[in-house]
Amino acid sequence: MDCPVCESPMKEVERYGVDIDICPECKGVWLDRGEIENIAAVELQPVWTIGVIKETFLEKLEKYI
């Protein structure tokens, strides 16, 4: 899959049992809705918004990029 923003080939990594597409060029992280819900369940942080989950993910995923 190519990045919807910069059209670079994306890198797929597995985290918490779900596949996440990461763009090495613009650091975009792409999840579908089902994946976000799976991650939220694993993290056990019910008050998190999707935006906060995404920010935390960017931090955690930096070492994979």
The one among 11, 13, 28, 36 contacting Zn ion by CB under 5 A: 28
Does position 6 interact with Zn ion (CB under 5 A)? The reply is yes
Of 29 and 39, CB closest to Zn ion: 29
* Residue nearer to Zn ion on the CB measure, 37 or 54: 54
Nearer to Zn ion, 28 or 35 (CB): 28
The C-alpha angle 60, 4, 32, rounded to 5 degrees, equals 55
Which residues contribute to the site for Zn ion (CB under 5 A)? 3, 5-6, 23, 25-26, 28
